Amino acid sequence: MSAARSAHFATLVAKHPDNELFRFSLAQALLAEDRGADALEHLEACARKKSDWMMPRIMLGKTLLALGRRTDAKPWLEDALQLAVSQDHQDPEAELKALLAGL
């Protein structure tokens, strides 16, 4: 994926820092560019803004794991698992249980 996509969303986030959808799109673009450390702040902003939004929590937990930050990842993954169960998302539930079992 080209850096143009992350640059596009970075511009949108700069203009609209409270827009969680722009931040989520920027985080996805950064992750696609293998820039997980840069995506963390945007994923965390999304997770903190919407308490019932599962995907940023999953992505945040996985990114933290990839960065070797297991202790930081665990609460995000546990929170995502609770949301997966309560929202009846069976595939993410299974994936999260597997991830947490490995911690």
Q: What is this structure's pTM?
A: 0.93
Residue-range definition of the domain harbouring residue 39: 3-101
The closest of 7, 60, 50 to 30, measured between CA atoms, is: 7
CATH number of 67's domain: 1.25.40.10
Are the CB atoms for 45 and 21 separated by under 8 Å? no
The radius of gyration of the chain from alpha carbons, rounded to an integer in Å, stands at 14
Q: What percent of the chain has pLDDT over 90?
A: 96
The closest of 70, 93, 98 to 82, measured between CA atoms, is: 93
- pLDDT, one tens digit per residue, over 46-89 is 999 999 999 999 999 999 999 999 999 999 999 999 999 999 99
Q: What angle do CA 80, 86, 92 make, to 5 degrees?
A: 45
